[in-house]
Amino acid sequence: MTEPYVRPARSADLKPFVQALGDHGFLRDRLDRQRNGLGVLFLAWLGSRPAGTVYLWLERAEEPPIRWHLPGVPLITHLEVAPELRNRGIGQALVGAVERHLVEEGHERVALAVRTDNADAARLYARLGYQDWGHGDVTCYALRPLRGGGVLEEPERCHVLTKDLAGPTPPAPRHESWPIGASRRA
């Protein structure tokens, strides 16, 4: 089986990932934020096929409880794997790439929010060492693109999970030949 390959996004990556996963507006926004140093959009391939994305949010948290309890803690957001490619290690590879990047940048902790009804994602994060933050659930807002343009903001109840990065981080895949933090430019 081919191992996933993960790296930060470049402008040329936008078209194949939009074709594979949709949501041009979201991916364009995250690529623009990356260019401005506000985060990093990581992309995963399985062979030559676009397989998944995750965004590392480096701005202040939008949700007040997260902002109050976890000031300055980077957030893993919008992990998505193509439905037909799930359960092949792609989500784990994306999270591992983010964690290695954060360690290289000197961060000691990372957080994420997972919908209370997303048991599959919660199991993945638990396997990867993420633990409940101890301050209850939070209302997060998902941005849903509308057919005619525009975006709908929908509230979601989420568990917030954190992980201390001081311990061992996942090893880089054997075939990965570039440093994760090598290029923040698209």
Position 20 confidence tier, pLDDT thresholds 50, 70, 90: confident
Mean pLDDT of 170-174: 55
| pLDDT at 77 (0 to 100) | 95
Rounded CA-CA distance 161/33 in Å is 24
185 pLDDT more than 50? no
* pTM, to two decimals: 0.86
**pLDDT category of residue 108 using cuts at 50, 70 and 90:** very high
Write the CA distances from 172 to 100, 128, 145, 168, integer angstroms. 8, 15, 34, 12
State residue 157's pLDDT score.
96
pLDDT at 183 over 70: no
pLDDT in tens, 121-163: 999 999 999 999 999 999 998 877 677 777 788 999 999 999 9
pLDDT band at residue 171 under the 50/70/90 scheme: low
75 vs 14: which has the higher pLDDT:
75
Q: Work out the pLDDT band at 166, boundaries 50, 70, 90.
A: confident
Spatial distance between the Cα atoms of 66 and 88, rounded to a whole number of angstroms = 31
- Provide the pLDDT for residue 148: 77
Return all residues near 87 (Cβ < 8 A) that are at least 6 apart: none
Mean pLDDT of 171-184: 43
Q: What is the DSSP string of 159-183?
A: EEEEEE-SSPPPPPPTT--S-TTS-
Q: Give the chain's mean pLDDT.
A: 88
Predicted confidence band at 182 (pLDDT cuts at 50, 70, 90)? very low
- How large is the average pLDDT for residues 75-96? 94
